Amino acid sequence: MIALESLILEYTERTPKSAELYGKACRALPGGVSANIKFFEPYPIFMDRGEGAWLTDVDGNRYVDYLLSYGPLALGHGHPAVKEAIREQFNRHGSLLYGTPHALETEYAEKIKQHFPSIELLRYTNSGTEATLLSLRMAYACTGKYKIGKFEGHYHGGYNQVLISVNPPLAQAGEAGRPSPVPESAGLEPHQFDNTVVLPFDDLEACSDILREHKDDMAAVIMEPLLAGYIVPTAEFMRGLRKVTEELGILLVFDEVKTGFRAGLGGAQGYFGIRPDLTALGKVIGAGMPMGIVGGKKELLLKSAPIRGSDVFDMSAGKRSAAKDVLFHSGTYNGDPLILRAGLASMEILEKEFEPMTTRTESLKQGLKAIFAAKGIPVNLPGLGTVFNIAITDKQTIGSYRDMQGADLTLRKKIDFALFREGIYNKPTNRYSLSTAHDETVIDFTLEAYKKALARF
Catalytic, 57? Answer no
In 302-400, which residue ranges form alpha helices assigned H by DSSP? Answer: 337-374
Q: Rounded CA gap, 437 and 357, in Å? A: 9
Catalytic residue among 11, 22, 155, 230: 155
In 183-273, which residue ranges form alpha helices assigned H by DSSP? Answer: 192-195, 204-213, 235-248, 267-272
| b/e per residue 286-313 (b: at least 16 CB within 10 A) | bbbbbbbbbbbbeebbeebeeeeebbee
Catalytic residue among 65, 255, 336, 416: 255
- Please list, in sequence order, all residues whose beta carbon lies within 8 angstroms of the beta carbon of residue 137, skipping any fewer than 6 positions away: 327, 329
Torsion angle in degrees (nearest 10) through CA of 197, 201, 206, 207: 50
Strand partners, 62: 56
Rg (C-alpha) for the chain, rounded Å, is 23
Q: Rounded CA gap, 57 and 15, in Å? A: 8
Helix pair angle (103-115, 337-374), 10° resolution: 30
Helix pair angle (235-248, 204-213), 10° resolution: 10
Q: How many whole angstroms from its chain centre is CA 376?
A: 32
Neighbours of 324 (CB within 10 A): 8
Catalytic residue among 145, 147, 283, 414: 283
Catalytic, 230? Answer no
Catalytic, 403? Answer no
Active site residues: 155, 255, 283
